[in-house]
Amino acid sequence: MDSLLTASRITKQYPGTLALDNVQLDLKAGEVHAIIGENGAGKSTFMKILAGVVIPDSGQITLNGQPISPSTPGEALSLGIATVHQELSLIPTLSVAENIFPGRLPTNMFGMVRYGALFKQAQQVLSELDVAVDSRISVEQLSIANQQLVEIAKAISLDCKILILDEPTSALTDHESDRLLAFLKRLANEGVSILYISHKLKEIFMSADRVTVLRDGKYIGTHVISEVEPDDVIRMMVGRELGNIYPDKSTRVTQSRLLEVQNLRLPDSPISNNFYLQEGEILGFAGLIGSGRSELAHALFGAAPRASGNITLNGRRVQIKSPRDAIRLGLGYLTEDRKQAGLFLEMSLKENMSATVLDKVSQASVMMPSKQRVLAHEYVQRLSISASSIEQEVRRLSGGNQQKVLVAKWLAIQPHILIVDEPTRGIDVGAKKEIHHLLRELAQNGVGVIIISSELSEILGMSDRVLVMREGAIVAEYSGEDATEENIIRSASSH
C-alpha cells in the first residue's frame, strides 16, 4: 500500500500555546489509521488543518504526491477529504436528508429541489450504515446517538478518498460503536482511508491498522497495531507508566444512608423505582442507551418533573422541586452533555466555576471578582486544569479540561451527594484517571457519589455497587464478585 496523504513539519502557533510542533503523518490508501493523544496533544488541531478549517503556520501536505493546502472546508471537500467533527454540525430544523446533502441537493433543470430523489438517496446512505431512521424527519427529533450517525452518513455520502472522524463513537453504546467500526473497516477495504481520533484504546486495538501518537503537540511515533501493546501506547501518550487505571475500591462503606429514594415515578410511566446510597460508597448505574438512567437522575435532581417520589437525605424527608432546591440541599449533578447543559462556553473558567455558588463569591449581592479568582485558582490547581489563565473562555479548552471545569463547578458547592453522568466521555486517559481518583477521594471523605456511565469498564472499575436499569426500571443490583460484565449485560438486555 502506498502513501495516499503525507503531512510533514506541520506547525501551528496560537497565542500562548504551540498547538502543533513539526507534526508528521503518513496515511496509506485503504487503511484505518488512529490518532491518539492526551488533552492538548493537538489531535483536533491537526485534523482541522486537514479539513481546511485551520491554516498551518508552516509545513507541507501532499495528496497522491501533489502538494495541497486546503484553506476552506469547501476546498478540502473538493480534494476528497471529508470530516466528521466532534461537535455535531447538523441543522436541527431541517430533515435528515437535507442534512446529509447540504449544498448538494438533487435538482431539476430549474434549480428546484427534487425531494423524492433526495429522500430516496438519503435513505440509501442510512441503510448502508444500518441505521433505521426515516430520512424525512427533522434532526431535532433524533437522539444524540442517531444524530451522530447522521453526521457520519453525511460524510460517507461524499464519496471521499479520505474520511476523518473526531471521536465518532463518543455518543454511541458499545454495540453501536462496534457496528460503526465494522462499517469503517468495510469502507477501508473498498479503498477509502480512514483517519480517526479516539481515546478508546479498546476500539483502536480492535479496528485500526496503525496508530499515531501525539503528545503536547509533538509527533511521538506511528506503529502497526499488531506490533504494539496498549500499555506501550499509553506510555507513549503520557510519557510515563500509569499503573492501574482505576483507584482502589472503598474500604469504608457504612450502613448509614446518605440518600434514600422511594417510589420515584416519572410522568406517564407506570414504573416506580427505589434505591439508596450509603456513606463512603460509589453507586454505579449501568444500562443500555434508553434505559432511563439520566431521566431518573434528572427527576431526582429536580430538573425534570416527577409524578411521585419520596426523597430522604440523611434520614430527613426533603422536597426537591427544582435544581435550586437540590443544590441548596447539597446535591450536585454533572450532566452528560457538558456543552449544552453544563458549561457557559462564552464565559471564562472563573465565571463558570462561580456559577453554582454566586452567593459565596458575592457580598450583599455584588459579585466580588477577588473571591471568584481565589475559588478558580484553588480548583485549577486541585484538578490540574491546563489553561492559559482563569480568564480564558471555556470554549477554547480541550474536552478534558472542559470536563474538569464542570467538575470544579460542582465541587464548589461542596456537595454531600454528587451525581456524575458520563464523567469521562471524550477525555484522554490521563485526565480520566485524575477524575476517577478525585471521585474516589470524594467518596472516601463522605461525599456520596452516583456514577452513570455507558462504559462498562468504568462502571465496574469505579462502583462499589452497581444498579442495572432496563427500560426505565431498576432491574438488578450487583456488588462484589457478582459485579461482572456478563451479569450486567444480561440484566440490561434480556426481555
Partner 1 sequence: MTVENTSIKPKNTSNQIVGLLGQLVRVREFTLVAMIIAIAIGLELYTGRFFTPLNINAISLGFSTSAVIVFGMTLALVSGGFDLSVGSVFALGGVVTATALRSGTPIPLAILAGLAVGLVAGFTNGILITKVQINPFITTLGMMGIARGAALAVTKGTTVAGLPQEFFVYGQGKLFDIFNLIIIALIIILIGDILMRRSAIFRQVYYVGGNEEAARLSGINVDRMKIAVYTLSGIFAALAGILSVSRFTVADPGAGTGEELRIIAACIIGGCSLQGGRGTVIGGLFGLIFVGLINNGMVLLRVPVYWQQLSMGIVLLLAVGFDTLSQRWQSRPRNRQSTG
Dist. CA 3–CA 8, nearest whole Å: 13
What is d(CA 309, CA 265) in angstroms, rounded to the nearest whole number?
6
Secondary structure class of 353 (helix, strand, coil) = helix
Stretch of residues binding partner 1 (CB under 8 A), selected from 3-11, 134-142, 311-319, 321-329: 134-142
Name the nearest CA neighbour of 251 among 207, 282, 290.
282
Helical (H) or strand (E) element with 296:
helix 293-301
Q: For the CB of residue 72, give the shortest distance to partner 1 in the complex, in Å.
A: 8
Q: Which is nearer to partner 1, 287 or 309 (CB)?
A: 287
Is residue 458 part of the contact set for partner 1 (CB under 8 A)? no
**442 lies in the binding site for partner 1 (CB under 8 A):** no
Paired with 83 in beta bridges are 164
Separation of alpha carbons 97 and 121, rounded Å? 8
81 and 51 in contact (C-beta within 8 Å)?
yes
- Told to check if 74 binds partner 1 by CB under 8 A, we report yes
Work out how close the CB of 371 gets to partner 1 at its nearest, in angstroms, rounded to a whole number: 33
Only segment of 104-112, 378-386, 459-467, 486-494 that touches partner 1 (CB under 8 A)? 104-112
Pick between residue 212 and residue 335 the one whose CB is nearest to partner 1: 335
Q: How far is the CB of 238 from partner 1 (least distance, A)?
A: 27
Task: Return d(Cα 37, Cα 104) in angstroms, integer.
Answer: 35
Query: Which of 408, 373, 409, 411 has its CA nearest to residue 390?
Result: 373
Q: How far apart are CA 305 and CA 302, in angstroms?
A: 7
> With binding defined as CB under 8 A, does residue 171 bind partner 1?
yes
Work out the angle at residue 297's Cα, subtended by the Cα atoms of residues 174 and 295, and round it to the nearest 5 degrees: 65
Task: For cell 501533489, name the residue.
Answer: 66
For the segment 245-284, give every residue that binds partner 1 (CB under 8 A): none
- Residue of the chain from 289, 303, 473, 476 that contacts partner 1 (CB under 8 A): 289
Residue 85 interacting with partner 1 (CB under 8 A): yes
Task: Decide: is 470 part of the binding site for partner 1 (CB under 8 A).
Answer: no
Applying CB under 8 A, does 130 fall inside the site for partner 1?
A: yes
Strands (E), 364-423: 366-367, 417-421
Task: Find the part of the chain contacting partner 1 (CB under 8 A) among 19-27, 63-71, 111-119, 378-386.
Answer: 111-119
Residue 65 binds partner 1, judged by CB under 8 A: no
Q: Which is nearer to partner 1, 74 or 369 (CB)?
A: 74
Residues with Cβ < 8 Å from 379, sequence gap 6 or more?
A: 353, 385, 408, 411, 412
Nearer to partner 1, 217 or 399 (CB): 399
Indicate the helix (H) or strand (E) that contains 347: none
- Is 423 a binding residue for partner 1 by CB under 8 A? The answer is no
420 binds partner 1 (CB under 8 A): no
Q: Which residue in the set 18, 29, 105, 413 belongs to the binding site for partner 1 (CB under 8 A)?
A: 105
Smallest separation, CB 103 to partner 1 (Å): 5
* C-alpha to C-alpha distances, 369 to 136, 350, 355, 397, nearest whole angstrom: 50, 9, 13, 22
Q: Would you tell me which residues interact with partner 1 (CB under 8 A)?
A: 51, 53, 72-74, 77, 83, 85, 88-95, 98, 102-103, 105, 107, 110-113, 115-116, 119-120, 130-134, 136-138, 140-146, 149, 171, 173, 176, 287, 289-297, 336-337, 421-422, 452, 454, 469
